[in-house]
Amino acid sequence: MARRAAGLLPTARELVETGNANAISDAYSAGQLLHTAVAGGLANVSVNLAALSASSRADVLRSDVERVRREAAAQLAAVEAAFASRLASTV
């Protein structure tokens, strides 16, 4: 779920950048909700990983969690920047 939600964040950014000016807050909100879905999904994985003993598979999953977390944060920042830019251009 976290990966899929993260994969949709660029679409939210694109909609903020190019979508109908009257709906940019909806696209922005979608980006925020997608990021929240990423955070929730990764929290679930992290709890389950904490219960595992040390293994190379667990280490790979921990690395994947951190990668997805970083990428989603960067994508959310892009959504926020696009929203600020779009607001500035409509005023």
DSSP for the chain reads -HHHHHHHHHHHHHHHHHS-GGGHHHHHHHHHHHHHHHHHHHHHHHHHHHTSPS-HHHHHHHHHHHHHHHHHHHHHHHHHHHHHHHHHHH-
The pLDDT assigned to 51 comes to 83
Q: 37 Cβ partners below 8 Å, 6+ apart? A: 1, 2, 5
Question: Residue 77 corresponds to which amino acid?
Answer: A
pTM: 0.90
Contact present, 82 and 17 (Cβ < 8 Å)? yes
Q: What is the pLDDT of residues 28-85, one digit of tens each?
A: 999 999 999 999 999 999 998 888 777 778 888 999 999 999 999 999 999 999 999 9
